[in-house]
Chain A
Amino acid sequence: MTRTTSISTAGPAGRATARGADLEVRDLTRVFGDGLRAVDRVTFTAPSGLLTGFVGGNGAGKTTTMRMIMGVLAVSEGEVRFGGAPITAADRRTFGYMPEERGLYPKQAVLDQLVYLARLRGVSARAARAEVLEQLERLGLAERAKDHVEKLSLGNQQRVQIIAALMGSPRALVLDEPFSGLDPSAVDGMVDLLREHTARGVPVLFSSHQLDLVERLCERLVILKGGRVVAAGTPAELQETGTVRHRLVVGGDAGWVRGVPGVHAVDVEGSVALVELADEGATRRLLTAALERGPVHELTPLRPTLAQIFREVTA
């Protein structure tokens, strides 16, 4: 932990330390007035100290789940747990939250409204000001402290918003699309910031639709579709559940692979074929057949990308 803050003291009296508190969601369900089950028995864990990515298409239920975790929306069924016990209002007060919409108070100065938000949580004016200035400095916004939020670029507005969520050493972070609208270097800066919080044992749950980003960043993934969890685990675990394909490169035309039993040719183009192999026997038959016809330059397993897995599980 490289960062010390002047605002919060250590973990609350009821729990020995902030480190090690997992954020769990069990059979969480939200039924709206019109009978729509926006979130349907969603269960997953955002472990302490890890970045958990929350992915899914539009309307998959990501925002609704996050709003229930934060207590902004009532839970229809199921529960949210923090540190092994049902979550309390006091727990939530220590969470950092970034809602789906941005903007804050468009016509108020950046510094003033961040200090205001911190003071609402009970931080003294002086301590709030010191932390906000430090955070603005870190994110390169020190000169914009007096500017109205609406005058900032979208990326900078996003930074201000994340400062609002990160103030006061939160014990868990729930971030709805924290990377949307950020350029690659800004994403890196944001990731560094989040890593500091995971380093001190904080669970970070963030939603995103940028799969490449999620694949690169997070230690755990939860994929949502139609309000349900369709896949969850580490990226490696998910890749194992995905269908592994092989790339075969031979000397001549590879069209013959279509006739090999147990081999499903996904795509053949000249001497390159993309195949799915049903079992070990199929691998042997394919290689034997290839060697009979001439040189074999390559036979490599292709690990599926998250984008492929995502397409498979949400198809």
Chain B
Amino acid sequence: MSTTTDPRPHGTPASLQDSQDAVGRLNPGAWLLVMNREIVVRALNKAFLVGLVVSLVLIGGVLAFVAWQSERTDSYTVAVVGDDATAVAVAQTARERGLASAEAAEASEDGDDGDEAAAGAAGFGAVAVPQADITVLEVADDAAARTALEDGTADAWLHRAGAGDPGAGWTLAGWSEPSGTLTTLLGAGVTERVLADNAARAGTSVAELTAGSTLTTERLDGHAVDRTFVFMAGFAFAFLFLMGAIGSGAMVAGSVVEEKQSRLVEIMAPAVSLRHLLAGKILGSSVIALAQNVLFAGVGLVGLSFTPLAQTLPAMSVSLGWFVAFFTVGFVAVASLYAVAGALASRTEDLQSTSTPMTMLVMAVYFLTFSASGTFEKVLSFVPLTSVVSMPVRVLAGEAAWWEALVSLGILAAFTAVAVLVCERAYRGALMQTGGRVTWRKALTAEA
């Protein structure tokens, strides 16, 4: 009908009539103006900037804490009764192990030693010898040891359990529960010492007893990434997705309802195609969301290089690259859904309820992906939106081949294309309906 908004694209006979004149012509660059405005308005928004700075400080803080943890060498004082030569020897062994571990960590930190075993010793997961500086305090008798614990001059007291029974083992006493680091080190000292004694008694040596008993792990695909790290990275990806999707999604919804509520969209609609308006909003918010995630990822990678996890950088960079690609495509779908949430609302107050389904969806992606594993994770890595997190995680873990990632990205792109088309219709259908909330059904079936 001639009286409805003319959907004819620029260049059809109807617009040729006016083509020699600036007046009445549809502006083909409108989407660019809309996009610029969205970006500038967001970039100058105080709440957004504060949130960005807080997030960056958090990421930097966590990594700084990890780096500090890895460098830190705790000091302990262990009391032993001076008369018990075995106890003194055990404590000395533990002291040597703790110091050796601290030196190894420092060496790998400075890059003098790229040896994975040394780095692994200080890293996540590996069965590591903790770093510690143990001082051995020789005391006169048990009573003196107790006093030392009570007044705090010693952190723990190592002595034989049972009176003179060699089979009873050893006890590490503390005024409260002794520290885990200390227990591990002294446990290792006790094992080493007792093994040596028992071996000597049996007429052999520890070396002979333990010969050929080591088990080392090796990955043939060259991924220097352990499971704990993959889990942490998965958590980080899921969190980045959540922050980007909810933050920038809410921005799109807010900007759409702002124009609807003030009827600005009615002023713009005759002049600008609503498609341009929507495209500009989606692209603008995508640019912001992407820039934000690239910034987070960059700070994360730089921070990571200062921690013992630096060895994971190459694998992590590849995975992050996939995450950025998946996020970019997936966010366009999220942004269009949020644009509809904005168009369904009549006033800002309605946003809460119209955007609930989108928020639930994003939350579901977050909770499903960061805890997923095995076959479930494999499935998620191909399902649109959860694939944004799960596929990069599988790439990081070395479980997915590059072509799997490409196929998944293709599926996501197809999903996004459909989502954009449906959302564009709902957006245009709902935008001009004033008075109360609009339903999806009404939005999709509206005439104009």
Our verdict on whether A and B bind, yes or no, reads yes
Instruction: List residues of A whose CB falls within 8 A of some B CB.
Output: 8-9, 11-14, 33, 67-68, 70-75, 78-80, 86-95, 97-108, 116-117, 119-123, 164-165, 168-169, 171
Query: Whole-angstrom distance between the alpha carbons of A90 and B281 in the complex?
Result: 24
Residues of A within 8 A of B15 (CB): 89-90
Across the A-B interface, give the 10 residue pairs with the lowest CB-CB distance, nearest first: A89-B6, A74-B448, A99-B263, A103-B262, A122-B27, A90-B24, A92-B270, A74-B447, A75-B3, A86-B2
- Interchain CB contact under 8 A, B20 and A72: no
Given contacts A67-B266, A79-B2, A116-B33, contact A88 B23 (CB under 8 A): no
- In the complex formed, the residue of B with least CB distance to A121 is B271
- Interchain CB contact under 8 A, A13 and B448: no
Majority-rule SS of A interface residues: loop
| Given A89-B15, A99-B266, 4 more pairs with CB closer than 8 A | A12-B17, A14-B17, A71-B270, A97-B266
- Interchain CB contact under 8 A, A94 and B23: yes
Q: Does B200 contact A (CB under 8 A)?
A: no
Given contacts A90-B15, A121-B271, A122-B27, contact A101 B4 (CB under 8 A): no
Say which size band chain B's interface belongs to: 35 or more
Q: Does B267 contact A (CB under 8 A)?
A: yes
- Interchain CB contact under 8 A, A89 and B8: yes
Option from B4, B271, B447 in Cβ contact (under 8 Å) with A120: B271
Option from B19, B261, B270 in Cβ contact (under 8 Å) with A103: B261
Query: Whole-angstrom distance between the alpha carbons of A123 and B25 in the complex?
Result: 11
- Interchain CB contact under 8 A, A120 and B30: yes
Residues of B within 8 A of A90 (CB): 6, 14-15, 17-18, 24-25
- Interchain CB contact under 8 A, B4 and A13: no
Query: Whole-angstrom distance between the alpha carbons of A106 and B259 in the complex?
Result: 10
Task: Count contacts between A and B, CB distance < 8 Å.
Answer: 143
Contact pattern, B 262-277, Cβ under 8 Å of A = 1, otherwise 0: 1110111111100000
Q: Does B41 contact A (CB under 8 A)?
A: yes
Option from B2, B6, B23, B29 in Cβ contact (under 8 Å) with A168: B23
Query: Whole-angstrom distance between the alpha carbons of A120 and B6 in the complex?
Result: 17
Which residues between 242 and 293 of chain B lie within 8 Å of chain A, taking CB atoms?
258-259, 261-264, 266-272
- Interchain CB contact under 8 A, B271 and A93: yes
Given contacts A116-B37, A122-B27, contact A88 B2 (CB under 8 A): yes
Residues of A within 8 A of B195 (CB): none
Which residues between 38 and 62 of chain B lie within 8 Å of chain A, taking CB atoms?
41
Residues of A within 8 A of B202 (CB): none
- In the complex formed, the residue of A with least CB distance to B270 is A92
Q: Does B26 contact A (CB under 8 A)?
A: yes
- Interchain CB contact under 8 A, A13 and B33: no
- In the complex formed, the residue of B with least CB distance to A75 is B3
- Interchain CB contact under 8 A, B448 and A121: no
Option from B2, B3, B8, B18 in Cβ contact (under 8 Å) with A14: B18
Option from B14, B21, B268, B271 in Cβ contact (under 8 Å) with A88: B14
Residues of B within 8 A of A121 (CB): 27, 271-272
- Interchain CB contact under 8 A, B18 and A73: no
Residues of A within 8 A of B448 (CB): 71-74
- Interchain CB contact under 8 A, A101 and B22: no
Residues of B within 8 A of A13 (CB): 17-21
Residues of B within 8 A of A9 (CB): 21-23
